[in-house]
Amino acid sequence: MRMYDIIEKKRDGLTLSEEEIRYFIQGYTEGSIPDYQVSALLMAIYFEGMNQTELAYLTKAMVDSGDTIDLSAIDGIKVDKHSTGGVGDTTTLILAPLVASIGVPVAKMSGRGLGHTGGTLDKLEAIPGFHIEISRDEFIELVNRNKVAVIGQTGNLTPADKKIYSLRDVTATVNSIPLIASSIMSKKIAAGSDAIVLDVKTGQGAFMKQVSEAEELAKAMVAIGKKTSRKTIAVISDMNQPLGYAVGNALEVKEAIETLQGKGPKDLTELCLTLGSHMVVLSGVIENEAEAKAKLEENLHNGKAFETFKLFLEAQGGNAEVADKPERLPQAKYKIDIPAKKSGTVAKIITDDIGTIAMTLGAGRQTKEDEIDLAVGIVLHKKIGDSVKVGEPLVTIHTNNQDISAIKPKVYECIMISDDQVTPPQLIHNIIS
């Protein structure tokens, strides 16, 4: 087999065989096929796409490029959740204890991401003492006992994806549905999940700006799930404004705690109940989605979800008292309100710029080596459709640097106030199953 022929075939719009796909994934992972040939193939895939059969072969080849996690020692169907990425997205922190509180096993593997804020791991480390350096055996034992545990990324999972993702980044081939779908699904499958709930974000602050693009990505991933015997369902959710009010690590932990106590923001709560009910149904613990949702909602209000969260923190060395006293979470030195310059209705929030402001404050990493400041971030006071009076705080900046003169004008540019009535965006656009 020659890489040249594989490139030519895809360039001409033909379908690649399983052997051809395996050949290039293996060869690229081992280093016997050079970057320039894989770059050309990626560009051909970008233009010609892949059918569902090719997609499943590509995903499986990427899974087989490295280690896979065996979670079979954990009782029950392991359901994982993945979000394509948004601003202020705290759902994992809430969903893990929430669905565990009704008996769904959550065996979460988590890494440190780049982005506007840290990942779930960074957020959890805002809890004093909490650690994810536990052995594989301890991890399994904890999930079997408490139904929820988080472990740091171990093993060499999907090395093909790591190499291909870096190459896509510099060859203008990131934005390709087959490449995104196989990248995400290969990582979920390698991490050992039996079933997958995908939260595909759409809107100004998301990768997929249009609902139709998000649906196309969702359909590709659900099809991969079907062909690899992983029950998969995708929720298309709105990212035209940050989820909840808080954007920042400790700030989002506090928001998650409030949500687990049934006092969270409406949109964040609703999204967690929707994603959670699909996780519960896929796990087989409750058959009917409406029933699952009602049960989850009950556990937000009767203290069970919150108790499960505390149990989970303590089991991994965390000081669970912090959950009762969130003022003990890392606090920024300065909390500076930014007042509205005019009265009206919030019409638009430039969500990705809000994320960039949080990152500038120190909440996120630009490179893997960056240290993040768990305390800093932005708390919104108004969301789209809310009325606001001149002088009322629009946002509060949590910062360790008193000088926010460079940040203030950016905040005003991010939040548009209109004289007209504005309807808030719909939160759930579609469900693909």
Give yes or no for residue 225 binding Ca ion (CB under 5 A): no
Nearest residue (CB) to ligand URA, 41 versus 184:
184
195 binds, among Ca ion, ligand URA, none (CB under 5 to 8 A by kind): none
Our finding on whether 244 is near Ca ion (CB under 5 A) is yes
Report whether 394 contacts 338 (CB < 8 A). Answer: yes
Shortest Cβ distance from residue 183 to ligand URA (Å)?
A: 3
The pair of structure tokens assigned to 131 is 């650690």
Among ligand URA, Ca ion, none, residue 184 binds (CB under 5-8 Å by kind): ligand URA
> Which residue lies nearer to ligand URA by CB, 181 or 357?
181
CB-nearer residue toward Ca ion: 254 or 293: 254
Separation of alpha carbons 43 and 37, rounded Å: 10
For residue 175, the minimal CB distance to ligand URA (Å) is 9
- Among residues 10, 20, 88, 222, which is the contact residue for Ca ion, using CB under 5 A? 88
Nearer to Ca ion, 90 or 120 (CB): 90
Which helix (H) or strand (E) element contains residue 406? none
Shortest spacing between CB 245 and Ca ion, in angstroms: 6
Q: Is 379 in the site for Ca ion (CB under 5 A)?
A: no
DSSP secondary structure letter of residue 329: S
Binding site for ligand URA (CB under 6 A): 165, 179-180, 183-184
By C-beta, is 76 or 113 nearer to Ca ion?
A: 113
| Closer to ligand URA by Cβ: residue 184 or 272 | 184
Query: How far is 212 from 272, CA to CA, in rounded Å?
Result: 23
Mode of pairing for the β-strands spanning 231-238 and 377-380: unpaired
Which residue lies nearer to ligand URA by CB, 183 or 308?
183
DSSP-assigned beta bridge partners for residue 238: 202
Interior/surface letters 284-316, b for 16+ CB within 10 angstroms, e for the rest: ebbeeeeebbebbbebbeeebbbbbbbbbbbbb
Q: Of 261, 264, 326, nearest to 127 (Cα)?
A: 326
Picked from ligand URA, Ca ion, none, the partner binding residue 180 (CB below 5 to 8 A depending on kind) is ligand URA
Residue 269 binding result from ligand URA, Ca ion, none, given CB thresholds of 5 to 8 Å by partner type? none
**Residue owning tokens 């693909």:** 432
Q: Which of 225, 250, 279 is nearest to 108 (CA)?
A: 279
In DSSP terms, 83 is beta-bridged to 199
Give me the least distance between CB of 211 and Ca ion, in Å please: 22
Site stretch for Ca ion (CB under 5 A), options 112-120, 132-140, 211-219, 244-252: 244-252
DSSP state of 262: T
Q: Is 246 in the site for Ca ion (CB under 5 A)?
A: yes
Residue 228 binds: one of ligand URA, Ca ion, none (C-beta under 5 to 8 A by kind):
none
Distance of closest approach, residue 262 Cβ to Ca ion, in angstroms = 16
Residue nearest to ligand URA (CB): 183
Nearest approach, Cβ of residue 247 and Ca ion (Å) = 6
| Token pair recorded at residue 264 | 């969270």
Q: How many CB atoms lie within 10 A of CB 227?
A: 16
Report the nearest approach of ligand URA to the CB of residue 84 (Å): 6
- Going by their DSSP bridges, the two strands 148-152 and 428-432 should be labelled as unpaired
Active site residues: 82, 161, 168, 183, 187
Q: Which of 54, 49, 44, 68 is nearest to 18 (CA)?
A: 54
Give the helix/strand (H/E) hosting 27: helix 18-30
d(Cα 227, Cα 202) in Å, to the nearest integer? 25
**Distance in angstroms (rounded) separating the CA atoms of residues 161 and 25:** 9
Q: Which residues here bind Ca ion, judged by CB under 5 A?
A: 88, 90, 243-244, 246
